Amino acid sequence: MLNRHLPLLFILLPMKAKDKNKLLWLAAGAGALAVVRAVSRRMNAYDFNGKTILITGGSRGLGLVMARQLAKEGARLVLCARDETELENARMELAGKGADVLVQKCDVTDQQQVTDMITNVQNEFSPIDVLINNAGIIHAGPVAEMTVQEFDEAIKTHFWGPVYTTLAVLPVMKVRGGRILNIASIGGKISVPHLVPYSASKFALVGLSEGLRAELKKYDISVTTATPGLMQTGSPRHANLKGHNKEEYALFKIMDSNPITSTGAEASAMQMLDALRHGDAGVTTTLFATAGELLHRISPALTTDILALVNAALPGEGGIGKNRAKGYESETKLSQSGWTERTQKAAENNNEV
């Protein structure tokens, strides 16, 4: 017991009695605030049971993992994505386990499709209580091999998609209250080499999400911003690779499978849903990402210098150049080796194959 208080004792010993009392009062006050916050957080926890939750990009990967967890809590699920086969596979799996689930084909980069989809859901199924903006796209490769098309696709998916869905659910949520979870990325706080379109668009989403939280609180709408690092969802198969695509893909999969640099999708999803449940402002889910975020706060210059060294070790320009290939078109012996086993299993488990 004494060991826990040794740092405080070393601070108190050389101090005057008056100063010691002040410090003790400050410590007691901080402890009391922490207790009050913990109690308030528990009392204000949002119950997902019976709530209608829309997950964009919900047919595979992280969206499907979250859908499974929410189904266990009794949520009514609406999943939207562009691929009808993937949607039907997800629906059959979830419905087979007793979930109440509706699937809707929708491209979130098209405002009219989003508006029509949400109108249909709210008229025919149920008003939406929770919106999870999860749909994503990845372009990996040297920035010199990127074109305006890659930046445009990333912005449309990660920024305009959440704008369209939020504006569509807002009229009902303003009356009923609700929750919104915007799944950005640690790349939305630290721009990552060879993922510049992705990072830039995720920065836009973080700005949108934090602004929405401030403005929508008065309507009892809580907005949470998630900035996860790499997760083992199986999604690299669907990444768009440029330049030396095979080398880019192999490195991506190895980083995605490594337990030091990435985390399991289930654990990450659980953390993000817990933050949503308690109305937290934000959540960063992986230790590697948290450490990077802390370093960036302390010294942005040092962080970018380190990332410049990382960039120097990555594949350069050339290869297929400005053309692009999907991850599953870029497989090699290395990308299918034991180094990537976790990602390969995740792809099989999460409807990515």
- Predicted confidence (pLDDT) at residue 322 exceeds the cutoff of 70: yes
Domains of the chain by start residue, with CATH:
44-349 (3.40.50.720)
Of 198, 178, 228, which is closest to residue 48 (Cα–Cα)? Answer: 178
Query: Please, which pLDDT band fits residue 26 given cuts at 50, 70 and 90?
Result: confident
The percentage of residues in the chain with a pLDDT greater than 90, rounded to a whole number, is 86
Of 177, 223, 213, 184, which is closest to residue 200 (Cα–Cα)? Answer: 184
235, 140 in Cβ contact below 8 A? no
Average confidence (pLDDT) over 330-344: 97
CA separation for the pair 268, 274 (Å, rounded): 10
Other CB atoms within 10 A of residue 27 CB: 12
Host H or E run for residue 139: strand 139-140
Catalytic residue among 46, 164, 198, 249: 198
Active-site residue, 249 included: no
State whether residue 229 is helix, strand or coil.
coil
Tokens of 326: 């999907």
Q: Which one-letter DSSP state was computed for residue 222?
A: E
CA separation for the pair 310, 302 (Å, rounded): 12
Mean residue pLDDT across the chain: 92
- Predicted confidence (pLDDT) at residue 270 exceeds the cutoff of 90: yes
Average confidence (pLDDT) over 209-217: 98
- Predicted confidence (pLDDT) at residue 348 exceeds the cutoff of 70: yes
Write down the pLDDT at residue 182: 98
**Rounded to 5 degrees, what angle do the CA atoms 28, 224, 124 make?**
140
Q: Which amino acid is at 313?
A: A
- Predicted confidence (pLDDT) at residue 20 exceeds the cutoff of 90: no
- Calculate Rg over the CA atoms of the chain: 22
Query: Please, which pLDDT band fits residue 37 given cuts at 50, 70 and 90?
Result: low
Write down the pLDDT at residue 333: 97
CA separation for the pair 277, 261 (Å, rounded): 26
With 0.85 as the threshold, say if the pTM is over it.
yes
Of 13, 8, 39, 46, which is closest to residue 222 (Cα–Cα)? Answer: 46
Strands (E), 206-273: 221-226, 230-232, 240-241, 262-264
CA separation for the pair 81, 59 (Å, rounded): 6
CA separation for the pair 302, 143 (Å, rounded): 21
- Predicted confidence (pLDDT) at residue 4 exceeds the cutoff of 60: no
Helices and strands counted in the chain (H then E): 13, 12
CA separation for the pair 261, 292 (Å, rounded): 11
Write down the pLDDT at residue 313: 96
Query: Please, which pLDDT band fits residue 286 given cuts at 50, 70 and 90?
Result: confident
Write down the pLDDT at residue 36: 65
295-318 pLDDT, tens digit each: 999 999 999 999 999 999 999 999
Write down the pLDDT at residue 2: 43
Whose structure tokens read 């990402």? 289
Query: Please, which pLDDT band fits residue 11 given cuts at 50, 70 and 90?
Result: low
58-113 pLDDT, tens digit each: 999 999 999 999 999 999 999 999 999 999 999 999 999 999 999 999 999 999 99
Q: Which amino acid is at 275?
A: A
Q: Which one-letter DSSP state was computed for residue 234?
A: S
Average confidence (pLDDT) over 118-132: 96
CA separation for the pair 68, 66 (Å, rounded): 5
CA separation for the pair 28, 171 (Å, rounded): 44
Q: Which amino acid is at 176?
A: R
Q: Which one-letter DSSP state was computed for residue 158?
A: I
State whether residue 184 is helix, strand or coil.
coil
Strands (E), 5-106: 52-56, 76-81, 100-105
CA separation for the pair 192, 261 (Å, rounded): 14
Query: Please, which pLDDT band fits residue 1 given cuts at 50, 70 and 90?
Result: very low
**What's the CA dihedral at 216, 156, 108, 273 to 10 degrees?**
-50
Q: Which amino acid is at 200?
A: A
